[in-house]
């Protein structure tokens, strides 16, 4: 083997020049390692990939598997959901946190509001909610991921004769104002205890936070893996996070790393920037326990690993075709492929709320991942129970979260359909109070393309939920299948 002492890239300007390769869309100035002492010796060219052995043999995984108090075999889907959202040690759960923090945030917002509220503001109707209502809110909110509509208001919109767009179940569970009030004040954390946020208008808010020493990706990975030191985990990352500095700092506390990496990263071999590899070919460099490899697939991909080497392994693709790929590529495809599959599963049921608050999108994403994990546990635990599809599992959870909650008011209903209107016995009554309604027979906003005068009446049919004139209009409406002809004759007279 020949040593290449000058094959380490220490040029910080070059490290930032090709940062557009970032596939995750993260900020570029936080993705590149800062200057520092990253020299850990020369990179050695790997001449025989087939017989290459990692210089440091990975130790066996030492963490004992935790005892799982799985739900009972006969548990409902919502029990699996609550299994992942409850903290038995602290005697709390997600729903209780949402209830307490939302009520607290609503009270703080209303008390500190400096602007006068408009007459029709929803904040006038705010009332604290309880656990049952919050469960129903979460269930109904996530149901919007299964029933897609362009806006939140459209779920409560009455579609008139176009019944295909009508969703009556939403108005039976929540009024639109109540649902939007809860969504407006939805909160997971006490704002008075937010010690990491900059007050609006402060210098820190304008100039931004000083970036981490080694970049945001480095900070996130080291923080999340800090609890697993010394347990010989293998962390698989994409190129938004992987860097030589991170590999060294994770390897020191016995945490292995495998991932794709961008060639401009500080500390990567300079030759990787200019050398081109054909499809199926590879070149590798070794620096201590770290193996760097550039592999030609559909496009050139660069890997860093302290866990696997460049030797080939026989595998099969999704179509059953046998192929030989490097071991580091195989383990990356298997682990990251599972992540991509999980993302595909949750994307189908994402409500896709439009909000300026990013944490709400993260909250919905967390709920979807909880349901995804609950479904995996259900599949392993169900035994002889009826097999549910993923869609049925989602639907069952939402239905069981909503339960029997209904709005405590008379639900406005559309006019009766033909069979009920013509066959059931009806009685005319006075409208409550001094309210009036347009007669459903002799009053229409438009008739024959002309604007017509609307007759307001104080009588109605409570069973059909329509205003009707006493006498002729009441009889016609409940006797004729189509009363359009009678209505037209009335206006022509």
| pLDDT tens digits, one per residue of 348-406 | 999 988 888 888 999 999 999 999 999 999 988 877 677 899 999 999 999 999 998 88
Listed residue (381, 395, 475) closest to 427, CA to CA: 475
Strand partners, 163: none
Mean pLDDT rounded to a whole number for the chain: 77
Q: Taking 50 as the threshold, does the pLDDT of residue 298 lie above it? A: yes
Average pLDDT of span 254-259: 90
Q: Taking 60 as the threshold, does the pLDDT of residue 200 lie above it? A: no
The DSSP call for residue 303 is: E
Task: Identify the residue with better confidence: 26 or 331.
Answer: 331
Listed residue (471, 481, 418) closest to 442, CA to CA: 471
Query: Is 15 within 8 Å of 272 (Cβ atoms)?
Result: no
> Residue 482: its pLDDT value, please?
64
> Residue 161: its pLDDT value, please?
64
> Residue 369: its pLDDT value, please?
93
Residues in the chain: 493
Task: Identify the residue with better confidence: 485 or 113.
Answer: 113
Q: How far apart are CA 285 and CA 302, in angstroms?
A: 11
> Residue 96: its pLDDT value, please?
92
- The predicted model scores a pTM of 0.65
Listed residue (122, 264, 265) closest to 182, CA to CA: 122
pLDDT in tens, 237-250: 988 899 999 999 99
């Amino acid at each position: 083997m020949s040593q290449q002492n000058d094959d380490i890239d220490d040029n910080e300007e070059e490290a930032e020049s090709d940062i557009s390769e970032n596939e995750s869309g993260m900020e570029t100035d936080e993705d590149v390692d800062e200057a520092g002492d990253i020299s850990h010796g020369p990179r050695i060219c790997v001449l025989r990939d087939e017989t290459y052995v990692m210089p440091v043999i990975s130790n066996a995984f030492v963490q004992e598997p935790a005892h799982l108090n799985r739900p009972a075999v006969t548990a409902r889907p919502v029990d699996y959901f609550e299994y992942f959202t409850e903290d038995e040690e602290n005697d709390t759960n997600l729903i209780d946190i949402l209830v307490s923090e939302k009520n607290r945030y609503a009270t703080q917002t209303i008390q500190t509001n400096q602007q006068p509220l408009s007459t029709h503001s929803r904040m006038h109707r705010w009332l604290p909610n309880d656990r049952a209502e919050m469960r129903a809110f979460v269930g109904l909110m996530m149901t919007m991921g299964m029933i897609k509509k362009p806006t939140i208001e459209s779920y409560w919109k009455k579609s008139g004769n176009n019944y295909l767009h009508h969703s009556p179940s939403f108005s039976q569970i929540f009024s639109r104002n109540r649902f939007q009030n809860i969504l407006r004040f939805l909160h997971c954390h006490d704002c008075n205890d937010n010690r990491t946020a900059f007050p609006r208008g402060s210098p820190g808010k304008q100039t931004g936070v000083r970036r981490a020493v080694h970049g945001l990706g480095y900070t996130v990975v080291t923080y999340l893996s800090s609890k697993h030191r010394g347990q010989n985990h293998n962390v698989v990352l994409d190129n938004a996070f992987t860097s030589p500095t991170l590999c060294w700092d994770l390897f020191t506390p016995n945490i292995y790393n495998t991932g794709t990496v961008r060639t401009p990263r500080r500390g990567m071999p300079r030759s990787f920037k200019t050398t081109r590899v054909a499809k199926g070919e590879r070149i590798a460099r070794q620096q201590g326990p770290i193996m760097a490899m550039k592999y030609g697939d559909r496009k050139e991909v660069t890997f860093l690993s302290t866990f696997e080497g460049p030797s080939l392994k026989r595998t099969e693709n999704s179509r059953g075709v046998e192929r030989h790929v490097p071991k580091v590529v195989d383990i990356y495809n298997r682990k990251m492929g599972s992540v991509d599959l999980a993302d595909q599963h949750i994307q189908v049921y994402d409500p896709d709320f439009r909000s300026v608050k990013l944490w709400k999108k993260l909250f919905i994403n967390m709920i979807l991942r909880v349901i995804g994990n609950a479904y995996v546990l259900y599949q392993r635990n169900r035994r002889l129970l009826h097999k549910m599809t993923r869609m049925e599992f989602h639907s069952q959870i939402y239905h069981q979260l909503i339960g029997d909650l209904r709005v405590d008011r008379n639900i406005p209903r559309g006019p009766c359909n033909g069979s009920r209107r013509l066959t059931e016995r009806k009685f005319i009554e006075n409208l409550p109070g001094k309210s009036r309604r347009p007669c459903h027979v002799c009053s229409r906003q438009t008739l024959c393309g002309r604007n017509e005068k609307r007759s307001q009446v104080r009588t109605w049919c409570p069973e059909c939920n329509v205003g009707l004139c006493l006498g002729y209009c009441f009889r016609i409406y409940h006797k004729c299948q189509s009363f359009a002809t009678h209505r037209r004759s009335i206006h022509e007279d």
